Amino acid sequence: MKVSSWWVSLAWLGLLVIFTWSSLVQGCGPGPGYGFRPRSRKPTPMPYKTYFPKLSENNLGASGRAEGKITRNSERFNELVCNYNPDIIFKDEEKTLADRFMTKRCKDCLNKLAIAVMNHWPGTKLRVTEAWDEDGHHPPDSLHYEGRAVDITTSDRVLDKYGMLAQLAVEAGFDFVYYESKHHVHCSVKADHSVAVEKGGCFPGWARVTVAGGGQKTLASLEPGDRVLALSESGHIVLSRVLLFLHQNHDSKSTFLVLTTQDGHRLALTPHHLVFLAPHYKLHHSEYKAQFASRAKQGDNVLIRGEDGRLQPSRIISVSQEEGRGVYAPLTEHGTLFVDGVLASSYALVDDHRLAHWAFGPLRLLLSVTQLVQGEGTQGAQVTEAEREHTNTPTHYNTHQKSLRVWGNQKLRSPGVYVNTNTSNRQSNWTAVPINRDIEGGNCDSVRDKVLSVHWYARLLHRLGQIFLDPETFHP
């Protein structure tokens, strides 16, 4: 019976691989429709005095708030890089190379825009009139002081081109674009350490989940193979196995939104992570839609696991921000999990939970087949009656509980996922990490890129999504 089940699972995996491969092959061919090369659309110039997105520049949905001025003597100056792109003209009226200093994300977006400008207007280059400001010529909270903002024009300084230049900047990936002056376009980006930059959405390491047996674990101590409380498609609270971490970085500094409910629950997560919301009090789980956390507002309702162990609505009474180190995004079999008692999705960046869950289907099936090959039958994630009775009781945080499930003779891992089996002192992951980079003479070429910790499969899906999905599907 086990052999038959194994072949059925393998057959399904083969069909999914064939379907995915055929879709990718079709994506290189002509013709309209899903799975084919999308038709190029002509960009529309941005009207004067308008900006994108329709949020203030310091909003988390745009470039985010200012983090403080960077000077040449500050440690954060080491985070800036120099842009020597020959296809960009830097005004550099101060003759200090200040206009060439910027964050890595700003540099990447600027280089993409330079290519777009040359393609759209052959013979014309991108021109930067202002980037990092060390002389105090801007308002106190300006992102120019952090190398996160640039003011741009075209090399020929034709004013009629600036509306189109602004639109090209949006498509190049700038997090905020403002056609603020007839003489230039203002653009800015999120901070490099922002989780949004790493294409992942997460929870803080101190957030807790309820595991099998009724105990609780912090996400920093959670491991693949653990089973946590989640919600099935039918609306039942179940135990769902953690397959892997879509994002896991112990030292990443992030800004979290904190949703506080009337029942005292506090859910902290990044703005682009999905949480189930309803504008009004609704009893049935199907009436709650997965939305970006940045869209949550006071008065909205979330789903929580009540003291009696049942699913119930709870109204949000406040939305605040909180800084922290460490980001974790566990992927469960059901694609959901209860974090600090509040139901959230395992997914981020795309506002369609069902689509994201479907897209991760091949990976979930692959892990299941791997489990079968190693000689262990697939375990059901549904909570047994005995487990229900146990998980309905008040829980506690058990720091000594074995946290890593062994599958066959190997610990469950996945390529590209860092697993720390030392859980004896997780608090050390929350200490500040000094930056040990020396830059002399204004040369910042030696700054190393940050090691990203987003799972390779999530990165692949994000790149495919940028090709096949509507840009409005993604978090701004």
Residue 459 domain flag? no
Residue type at 168 in one-letter notation: L
Query: How many residues are recorded in the chain?
Result: 476
Rounded distance between C-alpha atoms, residue 218 and residue 9, angstroms: 33
All residues at 6 or more sequence positions from 140 whose CB lies less than 8 Å from its CB, including other chains: none
Which of 70-84, 116-130, 242-256, 455-469 is the most confident on average? 116-130
3-state secondary structure string across 316-385: EEEEEEEEEEEEEEEEECCCEEEECCEEEEEEECECCHHHHHHHCHHHHHHHHHHHHHCCCCCCCCCCCH
Residue 317 domain flag? yes
Q: Do 235 and 384 lie in a common domain?
A: yes
Q: What's the pTM?
A: 0.49
Is pLDDT larger for residue 59 or for residue 132? 132
Residue-wise burial string across 150-181, b where 16 or more C-beta atoms lie within 10 A, e elsewhere = bbbbbbeeeeebbbbbbbbbbebebbbbbbee
- In 65-215, DSSP assigns E strands to 81-82, 88-90, 101-102, 126-130, 149-154, 176-181, 184-188, 203-204, 208-210
pLDDT tens across 227-241, in order?
A: 999 998 888 899 998
Q: Do 166 and 211 lie in a common domain?
A: no
pLDDT tens across 378-417, in order?
A: 444 444 433 443 444 333 333 333 333 333 323 333 333 3
Q: Do 248 and 111 lie in a common domain?
A: no
CATH code of the domain in which 251 resides: 2.170.16.10
Is pLDDT larger for residue 425 or for residue 11? 11
Query: Quick one: CA torsion of 219, 220, 221, 224, rounded to 10 degrees?
Result: 70
Residue 33 domain flag? no
Q: Across residues 190-209, what is the average pLDDT? A: 72
Residue 413 domain flag? no
All residues at 6 or more sequence positions from 209 whose CB lies less than 8 Å from its CB, including other chains: 216, 217, 219, 222, 228, 229, 330, 337, 338, 339
Q: Do 115 and 214 lie in a common domain?
A: no
Residue whose C-alpha is closest to residue 227's, from 428, 382, 386, 68:
382
Q: Do 270 and 316 lie in a common domain?
A: yes
CATH code of the domain in which 177 resides: 3.30.1380.10
Q: List, as own/partner pairs, every contact residues 377-380 make where C-beta atoms lie below 8 angstroms and the sequence separation is at least 24, other chains included.
A: 377/2, 377/5, 378/5, 378/9, 379/241
Q: Do 319 and 213 lie in a common domain?
A: yes
- In which domain, by residue range, is 109 found? 51-192
Residue 67 has pLDDT above 70, yes or no: yes
Residue type at 220 in one-letter notation: A
Residue 474 CB: number of other CB atoms within 10 A?
16
Query: Taking a C-beta distance cutoff of 8 angstroms, is the pair 357, 8 a contact?
Result: no
Residue 452 domain flag? no
Residue 461 domain flag? no
Q: Do 246 and 391 lie in a common domain?
A: yes
Rg (CA), the chain: 24
Instruction: Name the domain count of the chain.
Output: 2
Q: Do 176 and 215 lie in a common domain?
A: no
Q: Do 326 and 384 lie in a common domain?
A: yes
Q: Do 203 and 178 lie in a common domain?
A: no
pLDDT at residue 314, rounded to an integer: 93
> Look-up: residue for tokens 């869950």?
357
pLDDT at residue 260, rounded to an integer: 94
